[in-house]
Amino acid sequence: MKFKRKNIIINSCLTLLLNSCLTLLLIVLAFFSPIFTKTAKAESPPLSLSVSPPTSYLYVKPSEAIEHTLILRNTGSQDLEVKMQLTDFKADGKTGRPLLSSGSIFDKLINPNLDFGKPFIIEAQDNRAITLNFDTAKLVGQKEYPLSILFHAKSIKSEKNQASFSQVSGTIASNLIVFISENEENQGKLIIEQLKVPKLIDSFHSIKFSLKAKNVGSNAMPVQGRGIVKNFLGQTINEFVFYPDQILAKSSRQVRGLELKAELFDENQELIPEKVEGLAFELEHKAPILFGLYQLEIELDQEKESVNVIALPFSVLVVGVAGIGVYLGYKQLKKNL
Amino acid sequence: MTKSFNLFFVQSACKKYFRKRKSLKIASVLISLAVLLLLIASQQIIPTKALAERLESDSYIIQFGNFNMGSGKREGTSYNVSYTLGQTGAGPYGDYQSTNYFVGSGFQYIYQIDSFEFSISDLNIDFSTLTPSNLVTDSNTLTISTRGAGGFTIYAYEQYPLTHTDGSTQIADTTCDGGGCDETEAKPWTSNTIYGFGFNAQGDTVSSDFTSSDPDCSNNTECFRQFADESNSESMQTVMSSTDAAQDETATITYQLAISGTQAAGIYQTGIIYVAVPGY
């Protein structure tokens, strides 16, 4: 009797254990089943593309061939048909925004292995390396060629259903700046195109300035420079670092910067990118009260320019004059009464 | 009577007080002036502590062209900075992979390991069955991520205006309520008697005309634009742009359509294309 009961208990325990294991196994299997995978895929958008690198700069000697490899990833849920196109771009003269233009420089020379006009399929969650071959032999000028490689992508699935819908498609671009020159040295040169700073300010205002730089050289180069605010004794009271944005050859760009702070640099005096916040086109030296003569020194590449700024309490003077006026008026009024 | 007495009392008390305290008043004015002058002087002469530290350090004081940030790549939440940018060295070019292939040192070779991402949430614009003089809408979402600090621009255009499957009948692009909107500027479009097709964009980085106060676009989905018409040689227009790095920056695009009672029944189609271009 006792033995029987013991057996029953053991059997119950084993059944429970088995059931638990089976349940766990089912959960695990279900998690990795195609149903779950499909749900995960369904969450990603139908068209999702990434291209790497977003921007590249290639230097090549005249008459030499170059190779440029791009990685295109389809991170979306649908297979895509992709067409490539190459177009020129121009700098917008203010920011690093490429203005695409319709002309093509390398169209016929590019990539013999891949027909530029012929579309290819990139499956969902797949990627493709695209190598472009450039033969610069037929190019005339030794200069910089800003280009954008465009990948027009549309869903194959939505094309099948297009009878009743208007179709949306997407294009992703990668910029390629090709500089053709015999000389591989830096031929970029930055000059100050425009420096905006008021020469007379109120004591309770701040010294605000903005800078536009122009690259008069032959190749793109990063902004290199700083702005220093000095007091009448020549002591530095504030300093701004210009962000090293690229300026294409023969183009201009509004300079961005931020106030130089010790926290921006690590123990090796290297800039900590995580700390780079609040980049602005208009830089501002703030103080509770400004008074007297200040000097703003701009250093950009090899160029230096300084501007004197005079701060006087104009608002106090205005209030004072207004107060005197009111007082005199009141006095006059009182006299007349 | 009591009031005038009170006033007189206060006035005389004040006069007495000021007469007695005249010398004190002058003194306090002088002290205030002195303090003010001191404040101004200290502002001029004594730089702040942090600035003094900066001046003492010789490492990140830049001899220009020598903005020595080291080399490599690091990512921040808001900006990514190339260590190579502005590094000591004559120019932006260095060897890379092969003898005739150079990528700018201090230029974009760091971007070679970065990526630029763009996605569209829905690829089919479906207005279902259209009834005359009704504003019908559909929407999708554009999402962009750019790791470089150069920012991005998203342009939009249509291949042709909404065209009937017969190939000739079209639904024109909207001109909005006041008749002033086109492919470059959004204007309010709330009237169902204004027929046509247009779109609205909402998000932090959408073009300002969609959110401007003049005309009043304060209602989020009130202002519409035409799509630039490629078949009519119109240039694609900016929908979203930023000069800063973006992480999953989104814009909701609302497509709106209204047709008249005389519009031919049937299926109308077009192709809408969004072009995402990274900044450099």
Please judge whether B148 and A55 are an interchain contact, meaning their C-beta atoms are less than 8 angstroms apart: yes
The continuous run of DSSP H or E covering A40 comes out as helix A34-43
pLDDT of residue A250: 95
B172: pLDDT strictly greater than 70: yes
CB spacing of A56 vs B103 below 8 angstroms: yes
Flag whether pLDDT at A50 surpasses 70: yes
Q: B61-65, B83-87, B105-109, B255-259: which range is least confident on average? A: B61-65
Separation between Cα atoms, residue B253 and residue B1, nearest integer Å: 74
Question: d(Cα A80, Cα A170) in Å, to the nearest integer?
Answer: 10
The region of weakest confidence among A24-38, A81-95, B56-70, B204-218 is B56-70
- Average pLDDT over every residue of B157-166: 92
Probe site for chain A from B35, B43, B69, B123 (most A CB atoms < 10 A): B123
For chain A, give percent helix, strand, coil, nearest 5.
25, 45, 35
Mean pLDDT of A57-70: 82
Q: Quick one: pLDDT at residue A306?
A: 95
> What residue type is assigned to position B10 of the chain?
V
pLDDT (0 to 100) of residue A198: 96
Interface residue of A89, A97, A274, A290 to substitute, partner B, most B CBs within 10 Å: A97
- Residue B1's pLDDT band, with cuts at 50, 70 and 90, is very low
Among candidates B53, B76, B109 on the partner chain, residue whose Cβ is nearest the Cβ of A274: B76
In the predicted model, is pLDDT for residue A167 greater than 70?
yes
In A, which residues are within 8 Å of B106 by CB distance? Answer: 221-222, 244
Choose among A57, A170, A172: nearest Cβ to B107.
Answer: A57
| Residues A253-271 pLDDT 10s | 999 999 988 887 777 766 6
Give the Cα-Cα-Cα angle A20, A21, A26 (nearest 5 degrees).
Answer: 100
Cis peptide before A288 (omega within 30 of 0): no
User: Measured between beta carbons, which residues in chain A are less than 8 angstroms from residue B109?
Assistant: 56-57
Overall pTM > 0.80: no
Q: Taking 70 as the threshold, does the pLDDT of residue A1 lie above it? A: no
Per-residue pLDDT of B254-277, as tens digits, reads 999 999 999 988 888 899 999 999
Residue B145 has pLDDT above 50, yes or no: yes
What value does the mean pLDDT take over residues A71-93?
Answer: 91
pLDDT for B130 equals 78
Testing the interface with B: which of A130, A135, A166 to mutate, by most B Cβ within 10 A? A166
Query: Residue A62: what pLDDT?
Result: 83
d(CA B47, CA A309): 18
Task: Tell me what the mean pLDDT of segment A116-130 comes to.
Answer: 87
Residue B214 vs residue B66, higher pLDDT: B214
Check whether A114 has a pLDDT greater than 70.
no
Distance (Å, rounded) from C-alpha B136 to C-alpha A294? 61
> Residue written as tokens 């018409």?
B229
Q: Do A97 and B153 touch (CB under 8 A)?
A: yes
- Which tokens hold the place of A323? 């107060």
10 Å Cβ neighbour count for B209?
Answer: 18
Q: Do B241 and A239 touch (CB under 8 A)?
A: no
CB-count burial class (<10 Å; 0-12, 13-18, 19+) for B254: middle
**Residue of chain B whose Cα is closest to the Cα of A160:** B124
Question: Average pLDDT in the B128-156 region?
Answer: 87
What letter would DSSP give residue A188? -
Neighbouring CB atoms inside 10 A of A102's CB total 7
pLDDT tier at B88, thresholds 50, 70, 90: very low
pLDDT at B173 over 70: yes
Q: What b/e readout covers A8-32, taking b as 16+ CB neighbours within 10 angstroms? A: eeeeeeeeeeeeeeeeeeeeeeeee
- Inter-chain residue contact B116 with A261, CB threshold 8 Å: no
Please name the member of A148, A155, A187 whose beta carbon is closest to the beta carbon of B277: A148
* Residue at token pair 């979402």: B141
Confidence at residue B98, expressed as pLDDT on a 0 to 100 scale: 30
Rounded to a whole number of angstroms, the distance between the first and last alpha carbons of chain A is 125
Highest mean pLDDT: which of A3-7, A87-91, B36-40?
A: A87-91
Q: How high does pLDDT run on average in chain A?
A: 82
Average predicted confidence (pLDDT) for chain B = 70
Tell me the pLDDT tens digit for each residue of A207-231.
Answer: 999 999 999 999 998 898 899 999 9
Taking an 8 Å cut-off on Cβ atoms, the answer to whether B78 and A277 are in contact is yes
Please give the ipTM for the structure prediction: 0.78
pLDDT of residue B266: 84
> For B213-227, what is the HEC assignment?
CCCCCCCCCCEEECC
Structure tokens that stand for A82 in this block: 């992709």
* d(CA A233, nearest CA chain B) in Å: 7
Choose among A165, A187, A272: nearest Cβ to B126: A165
Chain B residues closer than 8 Å to A186 by CB = 90-93
Kindly report whether the peptide bond that precedes residue A112 is cis, defined as omega within 30 degrees of 0: no
